[in-house]
Structure 1
Amino acid sequence: MKVMILGMGHAGKAIAQRLRASGHQIVGTTTTPGKVEELQSLADEVAVLKGSETDKVIAAAQGCDAIIATVAPNVKNTRTKEERESQYHEVLEKSLASAAKACDRVIFLSSFSVYGDGGLGTDPITEETPTSNHEEPSSKYYQAAERNALSVKGGCVLRLPDIHGAPGDMTFTQRVKLAHDYFGGKALFGADAPLYTIHFEDVVNAAVHALENDLTGIYNVCDNDNLPPTNQQIFDAICDKEGWSRLEFLNQIKAPNRKISADKLYATGYRVQHEDPNAALLEA
Protein backbone atom coordinates (compact mmCIF):
# COMPACT_ATOMS: atom_id res chain seq x y z
CA MET A 1 0.00 0.00 0.00
CA LYS A 2 1.18 3.53 -0.76
CA VAL A 3 0.39 5.97 2.04
CA MET A 4 0.91 9.71 2.36
CA ILE A 5 1.63 11.07 5.82
CA LEU A 6 0.44 14.68 5.74
CA GLY A 7 2.46 16.33 8.49
CA MET A 8 5.65 14.62 9.68
CA GLY A 9 5.79 15.66 13.33
CA HIS A 10 6.50 13.14 16.08
CA ALA A 11 3.37 11.08 15.46
CA GLY A 12 3.65 11.33 11.69
CA LYS A 13 7.27 10.18 11.69
CA ALA A 14 6.50 7.25 13.97
CA ILE A 15 3.51 6.21 11.84
CA ALA A 16 5.67 6.40 8.71
CA GLN A 17 8.40 4.31 10.32
CA ARG A 18 5.92 1.67 11.49
CA LEU A 19 4.17 1.38 8.13
CA ARG A 20 7.37 1.35 6.13
CA ALA A 21 8.74 -1.45 8.31
CA SER A 22 5.59 -3.41 7.44
CA GLY A 23 6.31 -3.04 3.73
CA HIS A 24 4.16 -0.03 2.86
CA GLN A 25 5.44 2.71 0.57
CA ILE A 26 5.46 6.10 2.30
CA VAL A 27 5.17 9.63 0.96
CA GLY A 28 6.00 12.13 3.70
CA THR A 29 5.41 15.87 3.73
CA THR A 30 7.07 18.77 5.50
CA THR A 31 6.82 22.54 5.31
CA THR A 32 10.54 22.88 6.03
CA PRO A 33 13.08 22.16 3.26
CA GLY A 34 15.82 21.65 5.86
CA LYS A 35 14.03 18.58 7.22
CA VAL A 36 13.93 16.67 3.94
CA GLU A 37 17.21 14.82 4.47
CA GLU A 38 16.14 13.61 7.94
CA LEU A 39 12.75 12.46 6.67
CA GLN A 40 14.22 10.54 3.75
CA SER A 41 15.23 7.84 6.24
CA LEU A 42 11.55 7.38 7.13
CA ALA A 43 9.80 7.85 3.80
CA ASP A 44 10.32 6.69 0.22
CA GLU A 45 9.43 10.15 -1.02
CA VAL A 46 9.38 13.53 0.75
CA ALA A 47 7.40 16.49 -0.56
CA VAL A 48 7.87 20.06 0.68
CA LEU A 49 4.43 21.64 0.89
CA LYS A 50 1.75 23.12 3.10
CA GLY A 51 -1.43 21.16 3.52
CA SER A 52 -3.32 24.20 2.27
CA GLU A 53 -1.50 24.00 -1.08
CA THR A 54 -4.08 21.75 -2.70
CA ASP A 55 -2.42 21.34 -6.09
CA LYS A 56 0.84 20.28 -4.46
CA VAL A 57 -0.94 17.83 -2.15
CA ILE A 58 -2.79 16.27 -5.09
CA ALA A 59 0.45 15.93 -7.07
CA ALA A 60 2.35 14.39 -4.16
CA ALA A 61 -0.51 11.96 -3.43
CA GLN A 62 -0.62 10.51 -6.94
CA GLY A 63 -0.99 6.73 -6.67
CA CYS A 64 -1.55 6.82 -2.90
CA ASP A 65 -4.11 4.44 -1.42
CA ALA A 66 -4.57 6.51 1.74
CA ILE A 67 -3.63 9.78 3.40
CA ILE A 68 -3.06 9.94 7.15
CA ALA A 69 -3.31 13.58 8.25
CA THR A 70 -1.44 14.36 11.47
CA VAL A 71 -1.32 18.14 10.98
CA ALA A 72 -1.60 20.35 14.07
CA PRO A 73 -0.96 24.06 14.77
CA ASN A 74 2.06 25.24 16.72
CA VAL A 75 0.80 26.00 20.23
CA LYS A 76 3.13 29.03 20.53
CA ASN A 77 1.21 30.68 17.69
CA THR A 78 -2.20 30.23 19.32
CA ARG A 79 -2.13 32.58 22.31
CA THR A 80 -5.06 34.75 21.22
CA LYS A 81 -8.36 33.91 19.55
CA GLU A 82 -7.21 35.84 16.48
CA GLU A 83 -4.02 33.77 16.24
CA ARG A 84 -6.03 30.57 16.72
CA GLU A 85 -8.49 31.67 14.03
CA SER A 86 -5.68 32.02 11.51
CA GLN A 87 -3.61 28.99 12.54
CA TYR A 88 -6.37 26.42 12.93
CA HIS A 89 -8.14 27.46 9.73
CA GLU A 90 -4.94 27.25 7.70
CA VAL A 91 -3.45 24.11 9.23
CA LEU A 92 -6.59 22.04 9.83
CA GLU A 93 -9.53 22.92 7.59
CA LYS A 94 -7.51 23.74 4.48
CA SER A 95 -5.19 20.74 4.86
CA LEU A 96 -8.07 18.29 5.13
CA ALA A 97 -9.85 19.93 2.22
CA SER A 98 -6.71 19.25 0.18
CA ALA A 99 -6.49 15.67 1.43
CA ALA A 100 -10.12 14.97 0.50
CA LYS A 101 -9.48 16.20 -3.03
CA ALA A 102 -6.31 14.11 -3.33
CA CYS A 103 -7.52 10.70 -2.11
CA ASP A 104 -10.74 8.86 -1.25
CA ARG A 105 -9.21 7.25 1.86
CA VAL A 106 -8.37 9.84 4.54
CA ILE A 107 -7.57 9.20 8.21
CA PHE A 108 -7.53 12.37 10.30
CA LEU A 109 -6.08 12.71 13.80
CA SER A 110 -8.62 15.04 15.38
CA SER A 111 -9.27 16.27 18.92
CA PHE A 112 -11.67 15.89 21.83
CA SER A 113 -12.03 19.68 21.65
CA VAL A 114 -14.87 19.18 19.13
CA TYR A 115 -17.13 18.16 22.02
CA GLY A 116 -16.66 21.43 23.87
CA ASP A 117 -17.69 20.68 27.44
CA GLY A 118 -19.86 17.79 26.31
CA GLY A 119 -23.13 19.53 27.07
CA LEU A 120 -25.65 18.58 29.73
CA GLY A 121 -25.99 15.14 31.24
CA THR A 122 -23.92 12.59 33.09
CA ASP A 123 -23.75 9.75 30.58
CA PRO A 124 -20.37 9.11 28.98
CA ILE A 125 -19.54 11.14 25.89
CA THR A 126 -19.66 9.01 22.76
CA GLU A 127 -19.12 9.61 19.07
CA GLU A 128 -22.86 10.39 18.88
CA THR A 129 -22.58 13.27 21.37
CA PRO A 130 -23.19 16.53 19.48
CA THR A 131 -20.17 18.71 18.83
CA SER A 132 -20.22 22.18 20.38
CA ASN A 133 -18.09 25.27 21.11
CA HIS A 134 -18.59 26.31 17.51
CA GLU A 135 -17.12 29.80 17.94
CA GLU A 136 -13.77 28.80 19.48
CA PRO A 137 -11.29 28.29 16.59
CA SER A 138 -9.54 25.32 18.22
CA SER A 139 -12.87 23.47 18.18
CA LYS A 140 -14.51 25.01 15.11
CA TYR A 141 -11.72 24.17 12.71
CA TYR A 142 -11.21 20.64 14.00
CA GLN A 143 -14.89 20.14 13.26
CA ALA A 144 -14.48 21.62 9.77
CA ALA A 145 -11.46 19.40 9.13
CA GLU A 146 -13.44 16.35 10.28
CA ARG A 147 -16.22 17.17 7.83
CA ASN A 148 -13.67 17.33 5.04
CA ALA A 149 -12.16 13.98 6.02
CA LEU A 150 -15.57 12.34 6.25
CA SER A 151 -16.64 13.73 2.87
CA VAL A 152 -14.81 10.88 1.13
CA LYS A 153 -16.02 7.28 1.19
CA GLY A 154 -12.99 6.08 3.14
CA GLY A 155 -12.99 8.90 5.66
CA CYS A 156 -11.99 8.07 9.23
CA VAL A 157 -11.66 10.46 12.18
CA LEU A 158 -9.72 9.54 15.31
CA ARG A 159 -10.61 11.95 18.11
CA LEU A 160 -7.70 12.30 20.53
CA PRO A 161 -6.92 13.94 23.86
CA ASP A 162 -3.60 15.66 24.68
CA ILE A 163 -0.68 13.69 23.23
CA HIS A 164 2.42 13.11 25.34
CA GLY A 165 5.57 11.00 25.36
CA ALA A 166 7.04 11.71 21.95
CA PRO A 167 10.86 12.01 21.75
CA GLY A 168 11.77 15.55 22.78
CA ASP A 169 8.15 16.39 23.61
CA MET A 170 7.35 18.63 26.55
CA THR A 171 6.43 17.00 29.83
CA PHE A 172 3.34 18.26 31.62
CA THR A 173 5.60 20.14 34.01
CA GLN A 174 7.19 21.89 31.03
CA ARG A 175 3.73 22.69 29.68
CA VAL A 176 2.82 24.41 32.94
CA LYS A 177 6.06 26.41 32.73
CA LEU A 178 5.11 27.35 29.16
CA ALA A 179 1.78 28.63 30.48
CA HIS A 180 3.69 30.84 32.93
CA ASP A 181 6.27 32.00 30.38
CA TYR A 182 4.05 32.58 27.33
CA PHE A 183 0.51 32.93 28.70
CA GLY A 184 1.09 34.95 31.87
CA GLY A 185 0.22 32.11 34.21
CA LYS A 186 -3.12 31.53 32.52
CA ALA A 187 -4.58 28.34 31.08
CA LEU A 188 -7.02 28.73 28.19
CA PHE A 189 -9.05 25.66 29.19
CA GLY A 190 -11.37 24.98 32.12
CA ALA A 191 -10.44 23.76 35.58
CA ASP A 192 -12.93 20.94 36.06
CA ALA A 193 -12.52 18.92 32.86
CA PRO A 194 -10.81 15.53 33.23
CA LEU A 195 -7.26 15.79 31.85
CA TYR A 196 -7.41 13.08 29.23
CA THR A 197 -4.01 12.27 27.73
CA ILE A 198 -2.67 9.65 25.37
CA HIS A 199 0.87 8.43 24.72
CA PHE A 200 2.04 9.09 21.20
CA GLU A 201 2.76 5.37 20.71
CA ASP A 202 -0.93 4.70 21.37
CA VAL A 203 -1.75 7.33 18.75
CA VAL A 204 0.53 5.54 16.28
CA ASN A 205 -1.14 2.24 17.13
CA ALA A 206 -4.58 3.78 16.57
CA ALA A 207 -3.67 5.21 13.16
CA VAL A 208 -2.12 1.94 11.98
CA HIS A 209 -5.08 0.01 13.41
CA ALA A 210 -7.54 2.23 11.53
CA LEU A 211 -5.62 1.82 8.28
CA GLU A 212 -5.12 -1.93 8.48
CA ASN A 213 -8.71 -2.59 9.58
CA ASP A 214 -10.29 -0.26 7.01
CA LEU A 215 -12.10 1.72 9.69
CA THR A 216 -14.41 4.51 8.56
CA GLY A 217 -16.41 7.01 10.57
CA ILE A 218 -15.57 8.57 13.93
CA TYR A 219 -13.78 6.94 16.88
CA ASN A 220 -12.79 8.24 20.32
CA VAL A 221 -9.26 7.16 21.24
CA CYS A 222 -8.49 7.03 24.96
CA ASP A 223 -8.12 4.76 27.96
CA ASN A 224 -11.61 3.28 28.15
CA ASP A 225 -11.20 1.90 31.65
CA ASN A 226 -10.15 4.90 33.74
CA LEU A 227 -11.38 8.45 34.35
CA PRO A 228 -8.40 10.81 34.79
CA PRO A 229 -8.08 13.62 37.38
CA THR A 230 -9.16 17.13 36.40
CA ASN A 231 -7.00 19.84 34.84
CA GLN A 232 -6.95 21.76 38.11
CA GLN A 233 -6.02 18.73 40.22
CA ILE A 234 -3.07 17.92 37.98
CA PHE A 235 -1.79 21.42 37.30
CA ASP A 236 -2.21 22.55 40.88
CA ALA A 237 -0.18 19.51 41.97
CA ILE A 238 2.56 20.37 39.46
CA CYS A 239 2.67 24.02 40.54
CA ASP A 240 2.78 23.09 44.21
CA LYS A 241 5.57 20.60 43.61
CA GLU A 242 7.65 23.13 41.66
CA GLY A 243 6.92 26.06 43.98
CA TRP A 244 5.12 28.01 41.25
CA SER A 245 1.95 30.04 41.58
CA ARG A 246 -1.12 28.13 40.53
CA LEU A 247 -2.53 28.74 37.06
CA GLU A 248 -5.64 30.80 36.38
CA PHE A 249 -8.12 28.80 34.27
CA LEU A 250 -9.87 31.00 31.70
CA ASN A 251 -12.23 28.33 30.31
CA GLN A 252 -11.96 29.79 26.80
CA ILE A 253 -11.28 26.39 25.24
CA LYS A 254 -14.00 24.05 26.46
CA ALA A 255 -13.06 20.45 27.24
CA PRO A 256 -15.31 17.45 27.97
CA ASN A 257 -16.62 17.56 31.53
CA ARG A 258 -17.05 13.82 32.13
CA LYS A 259 -16.01 10.35 31.02
CA ILE A 260 -15.38 9.80 27.32
CA SER A 261 -16.28 6.39 25.95
CA ALA A 262 -13.96 4.53 23.58
CA ASP A 263 -16.29 1.51 23.45
CA LYS A 264 -16.64 1.81 19.69
CA LEU A 265 -12.90 1.61 19.01
CA TYR A 266 -12.28 -1.02 21.69
CA ALA A 267 -14.92 -3.20 19.99
CA THR A 268 -12.62 -3.34 16.93
CA GLY A 269 -9.78 -4.82 18.99
CA TYR A 270 -7.79 -1.67 19.84
CA ARG A 271 -6.49 -1.10 23.38
CA VAL A 272 -4.48 1.74 24.96
CA GLN A 273 -1.17 0.36 26.21
CA HIS A 274 0.24 3.27 28.26
CA GLU A 275 -1.01 4.46 31.64
CA ASP A 276 -1.85 8.08 32.49
CA PRO A 277 1.51 9.77 33.34
CA ASN A 278 -0.17 12.21 35.73
CA ALA A 279 -1.93 9.73 38.01
CA ALA A 280 1.13 9.37 40.25
CA LEU A 281 1.11 13.11 41.03
CA LEU A 282 -1.98 12.73 43.17
CA GLU A 283 -0.72 9.58 44.84
CA ALA A 284 2.34 11.30 46.31
Structure 2
Amino acid sequence: MHCFILGLGHIGKALAQALKAQGHQVSGSTTTPDKVAALSALVDQVHVLKGEEQDKLAAAAAGCDLIIVTVAPNVRQTRSKEEREQHYRQVLQLSCEHAAAVCPRVIFLSSFSVYGDGGEGSAPISEQTPTANHDEPSSKYYQAAERAVLQHASGCVLRYPDMYGAPGDMDFPTRVKMALEYFAGKAVFSADAPLYAIHFEDVVASVLHAVNSDLTGIFNVCDNEKVPYSNQQVFDAICREHGWQPLEFLGQIKAPNRKISAEKIYATGYKVQQPDPNAHWVER
Protein backbone atom coordinates (compact mmCIF):
# COMPACT_ATOMS: atom_id res chain seq x y z
CA MET A 1 0.00 0.00 0.00
CA HIS A 2 1.16 3.53 -0.79
CA CYS A 3 0.68 5.80 2.22
CA PHE A 4 1.11 9.57 2.18
CA ILE A 5 1.60 11.31 5.53
CA LEU A 6 0.60 14.96 5.48
CA GLY A 7 2.83 16.35 8.19
CA LEU A 8 6.08 14.57 9.05
CA GLY A 9 6.34 15.88 12.59
CA HIS A 10 6.95 13.59 15.56
CA ILE A 11 3.73 11.64 15.01
CA GLY A 12 4.23 11.50 11.25
CA LYS A 13 7.82 10.32 11.52
CA ALA A 14 6.95 7.56 13.98
CA LEU A 15 4.08 6.45 11.74
CA ALA A 16 6.36 6.47 8.71
CA GLN A 17 8.89 4.19 10.39
CA ALA A 18 6.19 1.78 11.55
CA LEU A 19 4.45 1.66 8.16
CA LYS A 20 7.77 1.13 6.36
CA ALA A 21 8.55 -1.72 8.75
CA GLN A 22 5.23 -3.30 7.73
CA GLY A 23 6.32 -3.16 4.09
CA HIS A 24 4.30 -0.18 2.88
CA GLN A 25 5.50 2.47 0.48
CA VAL A 26 5.52 5.75 2.40
CA SER A 27 5.88 9.34 1.27
CA GLY A 28 5.12 12.50 3.17
CA SER A 29 5.38 16.23 3.54
CA THR A 30 7.14 18.93 5.51
CA THR A 31 6.87 22.70 5.37
CA THR A 32 10.59 23.10 6.12
CA PRO A 33 13.07 22.54 3.25
CA ASP A 34 15.96 22.12 5.70
CA LYS A 35 14.33 18.95 7.07
CA VAL A 36 14.15 17.13 3.75
CA ALA A 37 17.54 15.42 4.03
CA ALA A 38 16.86 13.93 7.47
CA LEU A 39 13.30 12.91 6.57
CA SER A 40 14.50 11.20 3.39
CA ALA A 41 16.04 8.51 5.58
CA LEU A 42 12.57 7.62 6.91
CA VAL A 43 10.34 7.72 3.83
CA ASP A 44 10.56 6.97 0.14
CA GLN A 45 9.95 10.56 -0.90
CA VAL A 46 9.62 13.90 0.88
CA HIS A 47 7.60 16.82 -0.51
CA VAL A 48 7.82 20.41 0.69
CA LEU A 49 4.27 21.74 0.88
CA LYS A 50 1.40 22.91 3.06
CA GLY A 51 -1.98 21.21 3.11
CA GLU A 52 -3.58 24.43 1.93
CA GLU A 53 -1.55 24.20 -1.31
CA GLN A 54 -4.02 22.11 -3.27
CA ASP A 55 -2.09 21.65 -6.50
CA LYS A 56 1.13 20.67 -4.72
CA LEU A 57 -0.67 18.14 -2.52
CA ALA A 58 -2.55 16.68 -5.48
CA ALA A 59 0.70 16.14 -7.34
CA ALA A 60 2.58 14.74 -4.35
CA ALA A 61 -0.13 12.28 -3.28
CA ALA A 62 -1.32 11.22 -6.73
CA GLY A 63 -2.01 7.48 -6.87
CA CYS A 64 -1.71 6.90 -3.12
CA ASP A 65 -4.00 4.44 -1.32
CA LEU A 66 -4.14 6.28 2.00
CA ILE A 67 -3.48 9.79 3.30
CA ILE A 68 -2.89 10.30 7.01
CA VAL A 69 -3.39 13.92 8.04
CA THR A 70 -1.34 14.64 11.17
CA VAL A 71 -1.03 18.42 10.82
CA ALA A 72 -1.92 20.51 13.87
CA PRO A 73 -2.12 24.25 14.56
CA ASN A 74 0.84 26.11 16.05
CA VAL A 75 -0.26 27.46 19.43
CA ARG A 76 1.95 30.52 19.02
CA GLN A 77 -0.19 31.59 16.07
CA THR A 78 -3.49 31.28 17.95
CA ARG A 79 -3.40 33.97 20.64
CA SER A 80 -6.59 35.69 19.49
CA LYS A 81 -9.83 34.48 17.94
CA GLU A 82 -8.88 36.30 14.73
CA GLU A 83 -5.56 34.46 14.56
CA ARG A 84 -7.28 31.17 15.32
CA GLU A 85 -9.85 31.82 12.59
CA GLN A 86 -7.23 32.11 9.87
CA HIS A 87 -4.72 29.57 11.14
CA TYR A 88 -7.12 26.74 11.98
CA ARG A 89 -8.90 27.04 8.65
CA GLN A 90 -5.65 26.85 6.70
CA VAL A 91 -4.07 24.05 8.70
CA LEU A 92 -7.13 21.88 9.32
CA GLN A 93 -10.01 22.46 6.95
CA LEU A 94 -8.06 23.10 3.76
CA SER A 95 -5.62 20.26 4.45
CA CYS A 96 -8.44 17.74 4.83
CA GLU A 97 -10.49 19.08 1.93
CA HIS A 98 -7.51 18.84 -0.37
CA ALA A 99 -6.49 15.41 0.96
CA ALA A 100 -10.00 14.02 0.46
CA ALA A 101 -10.03 15.39 -3.08
CA VAL A 102 -6.93 13.33 -3.88
CA CYS A 103 -7.75 10.09 -2.08
CA PRO A 104 -11.04 8.76 -0.61
CA ARG A 105 -9.20 6.89 2.16
CA VAL A 106 -8.09 9.58 4.64
CA ILE A 107 -7.35 9.19 8.34
CA PHE A 108 -7.52 12.51 10.19
CA LEU A 109 -6.16 13.14 13.68
CA SER A 110 -8.87 15.34 15.17
CA SER A 111 -9.63 16.77 18.61
CA PHE A 112 -12.04 16.45 21.51
CA SER A 113 -12.62 20.20 21.10
CA VAL A 114 -15.40 19.38 18.62
CA TYR A 115 -17.64 18.45 21.57
CA GLY A 116 -17.43 21.84 23.27
CA ASP A 117 -18.39 21.17 26.88
CA GLY A 118 -20.40 18.10 25.86
CA GLY A 119 -23.80 19.72 26.33
CA GLU A 120 -26.37 18.86 28.96
CA GLY A 121 -26.57 15.59 30.83
CA SER A 122 -24.24 13.36 32.79
CA ALA A 123 -23.87 10.40 30.42
CA PRO A 124 -20.38 9.83 29.04
CA ILE A 125 -19.56 11.73 25.88
CA SER A 126 -19.47 9.35 22.92
CA GLU A 127 -19.10 9.59 19.18
CA GLN A 128 -22.88 10.05 19.07
CA THR A 129 -22.73 13.20 21.20
CA PRO A 130 -23.51 16.23 19.01
CA THR A 131 -20.63 18.54 18.17
CA ALA A 132 -20.76 22.02 19.67
CA ASN A 133 -18.88 25.29 20.09
CA HIS A 134 -19.46 26.02 16.43
CA ASP A 135 -18.29 29.64 16.57
CA GLU A 136 -14.90 28.99 18.17
CA PRO A 137 -12.31 28.43 15.40
CA SER A 138 -10.43 25.73 17.28
CA SER A 139 -13.61 23.65 17.29
CA LYS A 140 -15.29 24.88 14.11
CA TYR A 141 -12.42 24.01 11.80
CA TYR A 142 -11.77 20.61 13.32
CA GLN A 143 -15.42 19.89 12.56
CA ALA A 144 -15.07 21.21 9.01
CA ALA A 145 -12.00 19.04 8.50
CA GLU A 146 -13.85 15.98 9.80
CA ARG A 147 -16.74 16.58 7.40
CA ALA A 148 -14.32 16.73 4.49
CA VAL A 149 -12.82 13.37 5.45
CA LEU A 150 -16.14 11.68 6.21
CA GLN A 151 -17.73 12.62 2.90
CA HIS A 152 -16.19 9.34 1.72
CA ALA A 153 -17.36 6.09 3.32
CA SER A 154 -13.72 5.03 3.72
CA GLY A 155 -12.79 8.12 5.76
CA CYS A 156 -11.72 7.75 9.37
CA VAL A 157 -11.59 10.40 12.12
CA LEU A 158 -9.67 9.74 15.34
CA ARG A 159 -10.54 12.27 18.05
CA TYR A 160 -7.84 12.89 20.65
CA PRO A 161 -7.26 14.92 23.79
CA ASP A 162 -4.08 16.95 24.28
CA MET A 163 -1.02 15.03 23.14
CA TYR A 164 2.23 14.85 25.11
CA GLY A 165 5.48 12.91 25.31
CA ALA A 166 6.92 13.38 21.82
CA PRO A 167 10.70 13.88 21.64
CA GLY A 168 11.43 17.46 22.65
CA ASP A 169 7.81 18.07 23.65
CA MET A 170 7.06 20.48 26.49
CA ASP A 171 6.06 18.86 29.75
CA PHE A 172 3.00 20.25 31.53
CA PRO A 173 4.91 22.58 33.92
CA THR A 174 6.63 24.11 30.90
CA ARG A 175 3.24 24.60 29.26
CA VAL A 176 1.97 26.38 32.36
CA LYS A 177 5.08 28.56 32.44
CA MET A 178 4.56 29.45 28.78
CA ALA A 179 0.97 30.45 29.54
CA LEU A 180 2.23 32.70 32.32
CA GLU A 181 4.96 34.30 30.22
CA TYR A 182 3.57 34.25 26.69
CA PHE A 183 -0.17 34.57 27.34
CA ALA A 184 -0.05 36.84 30.40
CA GLY A 185 -1.19 34.06 32.71
CA LYS A 186 -4.44 33.51 30.84
CA ALA A 187 -5.66 30.11 29.63
CA VAL A 188 -8.31 30.13 26.90
CA PHE A 189 -9.84 26.81 27.99
CA SER A 190 -12.31 25.89 30.74
CA ALA A 191 -11.28 25.40 34.36
CA ASP A 192 -13.58 22.48 35.18
CA ALA A 193 -12.90 20.29 32.14
CA PRO A 194 -11.08 17.00 32.86
CA LEU A 195 -7.50 17.29 31.61
CA TYR A 196 -7.47 14.36 29.22
CA ALA A 197 -4.04 13.75 27.71
CA ILE A 198 -2.61 11.01 25.52
CA HIS A 199 1.00 9.98 24.99
CA PHE A 200 2.25 10.29 21.44
CA GLU A 201 3.16 6.58 21.41
CA ASP A 202 -0.51 5.77 22.07
CA VAL A 203 -1.47 8.13 19.25
CA VAL A 204 0.87 6.34 16.86
CA ALA A 205 -0.41 2.94 18.00
CA SER A 206 -4.03 4.00 17.50
CA VAL A 207 -3.40 5.26 13.97
CA LEU A 208 -1.60 2.04 13.06
CA HIS A 209 -4.54 0.13 14.52
CA ALA A 210 -6.92 2.16 12.33
CA VAL A 211 -4.79 1.40 9.26
CA ASN A 212 -4.39 -2.31 9.95
CA SER A 213 -8.02 -2.81 11.04
CA ASP A 214 -9.37 -0.69 8.17
CA LEU A 215 -11.41 1.42 10.57
CA THR A 216 -13.91 3.90 9.15
CA GLY A 217 -16.05 6.53 10.82
CA ILE A 218 -15.37 8.39 14.09
CA PHE A 219 -13.53 7.10 17.17
CA ASN A 220 -12.68 8.73 20.48
CA VAL A 221 -9.17 7.78 21.59
CA CYS A 222 -8.35 8.10 25.30
CA ASP A 223 -8.15 6.07 28.51
CA ASN A 224 -11.58 4.49 28.76
CA GLU A 225 -11.12 3.42 32.37
CA LYS A 226 -10.29 6.59 34.29
CA VAL A 227 -11.50 10.21 34.27
CA PRO A 228 -8.56 12.59 34.87
CA TYR A 229 -8.46 15.59 37.22
CA SER A 230 -9.68 18.94 35.91
CA ASN A 231 -7.57 21.60 34.22
CA GLN A 232 -7.76 23.79 37.31
CA GLN A 233 -6.90 20.98 39.73
CA VAL A 234 -3.82 20.03 37.72
CA PHE A 235 -2.56 23.48 36.80
CA ASP A 236 -3.20 24.95 40.25
CA ALA A 237 -1.21 22.06 41.72
CA ILE A 238 1.65 22.70 39.28
CA CYS A 239 1.63 26.41 40.12
CA ARG A 240 1.70 25.67 43.87
CA GLU A 241 4.59 23.25 43.39
CA HIS A 242 6.64 25.90 41.55
CA GLY A 243 5.52 28.96 43.48
CA TRP A 244 3.82 30.50 40.46
CA GLN A 245 0.73 32.65 40.24
CA PRO A 246 -2.33 30.53 39.33
CA LEU A 247 -3.62 30.74 35.79
CA GLU A 248 -6.78 32.63 34.91
CA PHE A 249 -9.16 30.39 32.97
CA LEU A 250 -11.08 32.35 30.34
CA GLY A 251 -13.34 29.53 29.14
CA GLN A 252 -13.16 30.74 25.53
CA ILE A 253 -12.51 27.23 24.27
CA LYS A 254 -15.00 24.89 25.88
CA ALA A 255 -13.82 21.36 26.57
CA PRO A 256 -15.75 18.23 27.60
CA ASN A 257 -16.88 18.55 31.22
CA ARG A 258 -17.24 14.84 32.03
CA LYS A 259 -16.10 11.35 31.07
CA ILE A 260 -15.34 10.73 27.42
CA SER A 261 -16.08 7.21 26.26
CA ALA A 262 -13.53 5.37 24.12
CA GLU A 263 -15.58 2.18 24.29
CA LYS A 264 -16.04 2.12 20.52
CA ILE A 265 -12.35 1.86 19.65
CA TYR A 266 -11.66 -0.38 22.67
CA ALA A 267 -14.21 -2.80 21.21
CA THR A 268 -12.04 -3.09 18.09
CA GLY A 269 -9.03 -4.29 20.12
CA TYR A 270 -7.18 -1.05 20.84
CA LYS A 271 -6.35 0.14 24.37
CA VAL A 272 -4.34 3.11 25.69
CA GLN A 273 -1.16 1.91 27.38
CA GLN A 274 0.37 5.03 28.98
CA PRO A 275 -1.00 6.28 32.35
CA ASP A 276 -2.32 9.76 33.13
CA PRO A 277 0.78 12.01 33.21
CA ASN A 278 -0.75 14.58 35.59
CA ALA A 279 -2.40 12.65 38.39
CA HIS A 280 0.73 12.82 40.56
CA TRP A 281 0.62 16.63 40.69
CA VAL A 282 -2.75 16.55 42.46
CA GLU A 283 -2.09 13.44 44.54
CA ARG A 284 1.20 14.56 46.05
2:88 equivalent in structure 1: 88
Distance in 1 (CA, whole Å) between partners of 2:11 and 2:177 is 23
1:21 partner letter: A
- Find the residue that maps to 2:5 and give its secondary structure: strand
1:54 equivalent in structure 2: 54
1:177 equivalent in structure 2: 177
- Find the residue that maps to 1:71 and give its secondary structure: coil
Q: Give per-residue Cα distances to partners, 1:141-175, cap 9 Å, x unaligned.
A: 00000000111221000000000000000000010
Question: How do residues 118-267 of structure 1 correspond to structure 2 at under 5 angstroms?
Answer: 118-267=118-267
Distance in 1 (CA, whole Å) between partners of 2:115 and 2:125 is 8
2:100 equivalent in structure 1: 100
Please report how far the alpha carbon of residue 63 of structure 1 lies from its aligned counterpart in structure 2 after TM superposition.
2.1
Please report how far the alpha carbon of residue 181 of structure 1 lies from its aligned counterpart in structure 2 after TM superposition.
1.2
Gaps of 5+ in 1: none
Percent identity between matched residues is 66
RMSD: 0.6
Distance in 2 (CA, whole Å) between partners of 1:58 and 1:211 is 21
TM-score (normalised: structure 1): 0.99
Q: List structure 1 segments (4+ residues) > 2 angstroms apart after TM superposition.
A: none
Distance in 1 (CA, whole Å) between partners of 2:238 and 2:8 is 30
Gaps of 5+ in 2: none
Distance in 2 (CA, whole Å) between partners of 1:227 and 1:153 is 32
Question: How do residues 60-75 of structure 1 correspond to structure 2 at under 5 angstroms?
Answer: 60-75=60-75
Distance in 2 (CA, whole Å) between partners of 1:76 and 1:139 is 17
Aligned residues: 284
1:111 partner letter: S
- Find the residue that maps to 1:176 and give its secondary structure: helix
2:278 equivalent in structure 1: 278
- Find the residue that maps to 1:235 and give its secondary structure: helix
Please report how far the alpha carbon of residue 15 of structure 1 lies from its aligned counterpart in structure 2 after TM superposition.
0.8
Q: Give per-residue Cα distances to partners, 1:62-83, cap 9 Å, x unaligned.
A: 2211000001110011000000
- Find the residue that maps to 1:260 and give its secondary structure: coil
Please report how far the alpha carbon of residue 202 of structure 1 lies from its aligned counterpart in structure 2 after TM superposition.
0.3
